[in-house]
A and B are shown apart, each in its own frame.
Chain A
Amino acid sequence: MHEKTIAQLSAGLAAGEFSSEELTRAFLERVERFNPQLNAFITVTAEAALARARAADQRRHRDEAGPLTGVPIVHKDIFCTEGVRTSCGSRMLDRFVAPYDATVVEKLNTAGAVMLGKTNMDEFAMGSSNETSLYGPVHNPWDLAMVPGGSSGGSAAAVAARLTPGATGTDTGGSIRQPAALCGITGLKPTYGRVSRWGMIAYASSLDQGGPMARSAEDCALLLGAMAGFDPRDSTSADRPVPDYTALLDRPLDGLKIGLPKEYFGEGLDGAVAQVVEEAIAEYRKLGAETVEISLPNSRLAIPAYYVIAPAECSSNLARFDGVRYGHRCENPKDLLDLYTRSRGEGFGPEVTRRILVGTFALSAGYYDAYYLKAQQIRRLISDDFQRAFQQVDVIAGPTSPTVAFKLGEKVDDPITMYLSDIYTIAVNLAGLPGLSLPVGFAAGLPVGLQLIGDYFAEDRLLHTAHRYQQATDWHLRAPAAFA
C-alpha cells in the first residue's frame, strides 16, 4: 500500500480495497520501523491517527467521504495542532502544546485526512539542511549520510521513504522546494496569500507560505485543493476562489512557452545537475512545449535582499518567545533582563540567534534605510523582472537547487555556502510567486529537482505542467532502495 500515491490510495479507499484504519496502521508500522534511521518525525500521534482513521471509515460508510478522507498525512511541526506538541524544532517550544489548530490543519482535518504525526524541521524553519533542529538532523532516504534539505526536511524525507503519502511544509526561501528536490519528491510553494498562515508559526511573515509535499503533482493538486482558500483570520490571505486543481491536469502541453533564465544556468550550478535539468527540458520540448531563453537580471540580488528582510521580520516575530507566558523559561531568573537573556539564549539555537541579531541590526536606527528599505527596493526590482518575463512566457523553469544533497555537517559551519543552496528558490518568495519542484533524474545517485515558476495564482498551470511530465516519465515513482 505504501507504494501508492494519494490518488491511488483515494481510489482504493473508495473502492473498498482497504480501510483507512488498515492504511493508517500500515504507515504507522513503517514509521515505527524506519523513522529511527531517518529522524523525520518529532512526534508520532499513533492513537489519535487510528481514531481519526476509524472516524474516516465511518464517514465513508455514511457516503460522506471526499478524496482525502482516510488518507494519511503528516504536518511539519510548524503548524499548530490542538492538544499536540508544536515545537517548531526548537528548545523554546519543546514542551509547547498548541491550544488550537492552524487553518491548514483544520482544513485537512475537515477533508478527513489522517495525521500520523509532526515532522522534523530546521529550528523555526531557519536552515537549508534540517541540521538546526533541536531534535537532531533528518537523514536523506537516498543516502543516510546526506542531508534531506530544509527546512521542511522531515516532511520531504517522510514522503520519499514512503512513511506517508503526503505532507505539509512551509516555504520562506525554498523550504518546500529545496528538500523536495533533494529527496526526489514533488513540492509546491503556492502564491503568497493562497494558503492561510493562521496557526503557522511565523518566521518571515511577508515570505512564509504553506504548501503540499507529495510524490506526484496530482497528489499535490489534491492536497492544495483542501489547503487553499480565503481565511478571514489572515489579513494577507487572498479572497479569491480555489479552482479544482485536479480537473486541469490532463491538458496537453502544446504551445506552452517555457522561459529558461540564463542566470539560473551559470556559475555555481553543478555540472551533473545542469545536465539532468537540460534533459528534463528536452523532454518538455518533446511534449510540445517551446523553450526560450529569458533574463532575470536582478537574480544575484535575491540572496542579499532575503537575508535582510527575512531576519528583520524574524527578529520581531520571535520577540514573543520571552519566557513570560509560555515556552522555555530559564531556571531562577534574578531579574527581568536575566529572564529575557537566559530564556532566549537557552531557548534558541545558533542559526536562529544569528538571524535575530542580523535582523535587529538591519532595523536599527541609522541602518534601516541602508538595509531594510534598500532590500525592499530590490524586492520590487525582482518582482518586476518576473512580471516582464511572464509577458513573454507561461512558466519559468530551471534547477531547484545548484547541487544534489550534500553531506550532513558539510556546510553547518559555513552559513554563506549554506544560504547559496537556496539561490534559485529565494527570488520566488520575494516576488510572492508560486513555485514547484519535481524530480527529474539523478546525479551521482541522488535526486535532482526541476523548479517551475508561475505567475501569481497560476498553481493550476504549474501542477498541470508537472503532471504532464510525470505522465511521460517515472522519476517521481522511484523509491530509495532501503525504503522501497
Chain B
Amino acid sequence: MEWETVIGLEIHAQLATKSKIFSGASTAYGAAPNTQACAIDLGLPGVLPVLNRDAVRMAAMLGLAIGAEVARRSVFARKNYFYPDLPKGYQISQYELPVVQKGQLTIDLDDGSSKVIGITRAHLEEDAGKSLHEDFHGRSGIDLNRAGTPLLEIVSEPDMRSAKEAVAYMKKLHQLVVYLGICDGNMQEGSFRCDANVSVRPKGEPKLGTRAELKNLNSFRFVERAIEFEIERQIDLIESGGKVVQETRLYDPDKGETRSMRGKEEANDYRYFPDPDLLPLVLDDAFIDAARAALPELPDVKKQRFTAQYGLSAYDAGVLTTSRGLADHYEATVAALGGEPKLCANWVMGDFSAFLNKDNRDIADSPVSATQLAGLLRRIQDRTISGKIAKEVFEAMWAGEGDADAIIEKRGLRQITDTSAIEKVIDDVIAANPEQLAQYRAGKDKLFGFFVGQVMKLSKGKANPQQVNDLLMEKLKA
C-alpha cells in the first residue's frame, strides 16, 4: 500500500526581550542557577504577573510577517499541572483566544516548487525552569532562571507531507524570527524548539491517522531523522497488523529512535481557565501600526529585490538573503564598490562566508568589513591584482594585517602589466627550457600550460594572466 505522511509542527521561539514575560528579571542565558529568578519567578505567596509589552510587540510582528490576524483581544489562561520546575503549579499561556490567529508561510521545495503551509495560531506563554538530575547524588536540582522567559508557541496546520517539508518549514520560520529580531534562533540554548505531530494514512484517505507527538527535536537534523524514523515505525506497525496509539514520544538522538514517553490516558487534564490576575490583552490600532512600522524587509521580499536590483540568480539571491546580516554585508559591499554586484556576490558567498564558517564566527564579528572587502574587490576590478592573488590578500586581511592596498604594497603583490617586463620573464623561461620548447614546436600543444605555469611562478603570480597568454603564444610560435 502507498502511504501518505501528515506532519504538523509546534515551534517554541524564545522571544528576545530583556526581561521576563511577567517579571523584571533578566532573561540572559548562562547565569549561575537561580540568580535570575525574582519573587515572581519563584512563585512566592502574594506575587502577581505584569505583562511585558515588548513580548506582545514581538508576537504582533510575527503575526504581521506571516499575514495573520493579530487579535485585538486575547486572553491569558492558566495551564495547571504539578512539576518541580513549574513554580506556581501552573503555566500562564494562552488557550482559547491567542494573540496571533491564522497565518501562513511559503516554503521552497527541492524540486524548485513552493508550498504554502498554514499557521493555525501563535500564542504567548512563559517558560518553565529546568530540573537537573546529574551531580546531585540521587537528588534533583532545580534552576529557575529560565522560569518566566517569554515564549511564542507557533502551531502549524498539518500541512507537511514529508520530513524534508517539515525541515524546510522549520528553517523558513527560523529565518523569519531571526530576521524580525524577535528570537536569537540559538537552538543549542533552546531558543528555538520543535515538537512534531506525525501520522500516516493510506494515500487518498481523507481522514487523518492517529498521531504521535515527538519531543526533544532540538536541531534541524534531529527533526528530519526523528520524523523519518517515526514514519517508518508507524507504517511497519500498521502493516504488521498493529495500531498506532496516540502518545507522546521522545526522540533519542544517540540511538536515532523515538520511544514512548506517555500515553493518552496518562495525559494531564490541564484545567485551563482565564488567568484572573491578568486582564484580557487588548491591542489598539496604534500598537499594531507601530509593530508594522518596526517590521524589517522580509526575506522573500528581499530575495526578489536582489534578483531585480542586482541581476542575481534566484539561487544567489536566496543564499545572500539567508540572514539579514549577510544581506546587509552584501549590499554594503556593493555600495562601497559602486557596482559589480556579481563580483561582490561571488566574494560574499565564497571566501567571505567560507572564512566565517571556518572560524565559526557571527557576521557581526567579521574581521573584514564591507568597506574593506570592497577595497579588495576594487583592486581586482582595476587589475592591480588577479583573482588568485586576491585570495591571498583576503586571507591576510582576515588575519588582521590591514586593508587590501597596504597588504598589496607590503607584500609587493601588484600585478605586472608592463609588456616588456613580462616579455623579459618569458624570454628567461624559454631560454631555460630548450627541450620543452622543441617538443612544443614539434606539435605538443599541451606544453603551453607548462610555460604559463613557469612564467607565473617566476613572476610570483603577479604577471597579468591574460597578457602572459597573449605574449607567450606569440613568442612560442617564433
Residues of A that sit less than 8 Å from B by CB: 79-80, 86, 88, 93, 96, 98-100, 102, 197-202, 204-206, 232-236, 312-313, 315-316, 318-322, 324-326, 336, 340, 360, 363-365, 368, 372
Contacts and interface: CB of A to CB of B under 8 A. Distances in A.
B43 A320 contact: yes
Contact of A365 (B47, B50, B269): B269
B350 interface: no
A360 B272 CA distance: 11
A323 to B, nearest CB: 10
B106 interface: no
Interface string B50-63: 11000000000000
A93 B78 CA distance: 24
A158 B267 CA distance: 49
Contacts of A364: 269, 271
A313 B90 CA distance: 12
B80 interface: yes
Contact of B89 (A93, A98, A320, A372): A320
A100 B39 contact: yes
A325 B46 contact: no
Interface residues of B, number: 28
A325 B42 contact: yes
B-side interface mostly: loop
B354 interface: no
Interface stretch (B209-217, B224-232, B273-281): B273-281
B150 to A, nearest CB: 16
Contact of A235 (B51, B82, B89, B90): B51
B50 A235 contact: yes
A115 B43 CA distance: 26
Contacts of A318: 89
B67 interface: no
Given A336-B84, A363-B80, A364-B271, A235 B46 contact: no
Given A232-B50, A313-B276, A320 B45 contact: yes
Nearest to B80: A316
Contacts of A232: 50
B102 interface: no
A98 B46 contact: yes
A93 B45 contact: yes
Interface string B108-152: 000000000000000000000000000000000010000000000
A197 B276 CA distance: 12
Contacts of B89: 316, 318-320, 322
A101 to B, nearest CB: 10
B253 interface: no
B279 A236 contact: yes
B80 A200 contact: no
Given A312-B273, A324-B84, A86 B48 contact: no
Interface in B258-299: 269, 271-273, 276-279
Contacts of B87: 320, 324-325
B164 interface: no
Nearest to B279: A235
A325 B87 CA distance: 8
Given A102-B46, A336-B84, A235 B271 contact: no
A364 B271 CA distance: 5
The 3 closest A-B pairs by CB, nearest first: A319-B89, A206-B276, A363-B271
A247 B469 CA distance: 103
Contact of A360 (B48, B271, B277): B271
A469 B194 CA distance: 66
B43 A198 contact: no
B50 A319 contact: no
B49 interface: yes
A322 B45 CA distance: 12
B46 A316 contact: no
B25 to A, nearest CB: 14
A325 B82 CA distance: 13
B48 A233 contact: yes
Contacts of A336: 84
Contacts of A79: 46
Contacts of B142: 324-325
Contacts of B46: 79-80, 86, 98, 102, 197-202
Interface of B: 39, 42-51, 78, 80, 82, 84, 87-90, 142, 269, 271-273, 276-279
Contacts of A313: 276
Contacts of B45: 80, 86, 88, 93, 96, 98, 201-202, 320-321
A197 B46 CA distance: 7
A340 B271 contact: no
Nearest to B88: A320
A201 B109 CA distance: 55
26 contacts: A80-B45, A80-B46, A197-B46, A198-B46, A198-B47, A199-B46, A201-B46, A202-B45, A202-B46, A202-B277, A233-B50, A234-B50, A235-B277, A312-B273, A315-B271, A316-B78, A316-B80, A318-B89, A319-B89, A319-B90, A324-B87, A325-B43, A326-B44, A336-B84, A360-B271, A363-B273
A236 B50 CA distance: 9
Contact of B271 (A93, A316, A321): A316
Given A197-B48, A235-B51, A318-B89, 7 more contacts: A98-B45, A100-B44, A201-B46, A233-B48, A236-B276, A315-B271, A319-B90
B19 to A, nearest CB: 14
A88 B277 CA distance: 20
A322 B90 CA distance: 12
B86 to A, nearest CB: 9
Contacts of A321: 45
A402 B462 CA distance: 106
A99 B39 contact: yes
A233 B42 CA distance: 16
A93 B82 CA distance: 19
A326 B43 CA distance: 10
Contacts of B84: 322, 324, 336
A197 B80 CA distance: 22
A86 B51 CA distance: 27
Contacts of B44: 80, 98-100, 326
B67 to A, nearest CB: 31
A205 B277 contact: yes
Nearest to B50: A235
A26 to B, nearest CB: 31
Contacts of A100: 39, 44
A198 B39 CA distance: 11
Contacts of A312: 273
Contacts of A202: 45-46, 277
Nearest to B142: A324
B48 A235 contact: yes
Nearest to A197: B48
B224 to A, nearest CB: 34
Given A80-B45, A320-B45, A322-B82, A205 B276 contact: yes
B49 A235 contact: yes
Nearest to B22: A235
A372 B278 CA distance: 18
Contacts of B277: 202, 205, 235-236
Given A322-B89, A363-B80, A234 B273 contact: no
A234 B51 CA distance: 10
Nearest to A93: B45
Contacts of A198: 46-48
B89, B142, B269, B278 — which one has the most chain A CB atoms within 10 A of its CB?
Answer: B89
A315 B46 CA distance: 15
A171 to B, nearest CB: 16
Point out which of B48, B49, B50 has the most chain A C-beta atoms below 10 A from its C-beta.
Answer: B48
Contacts of A325: 42-43, 87, 142
Contacts of B39: 99-100
A340 B43 contact: no
A299 to B, nearest CB: 23
Contacts of A206: 276
Contacts of A88: 45
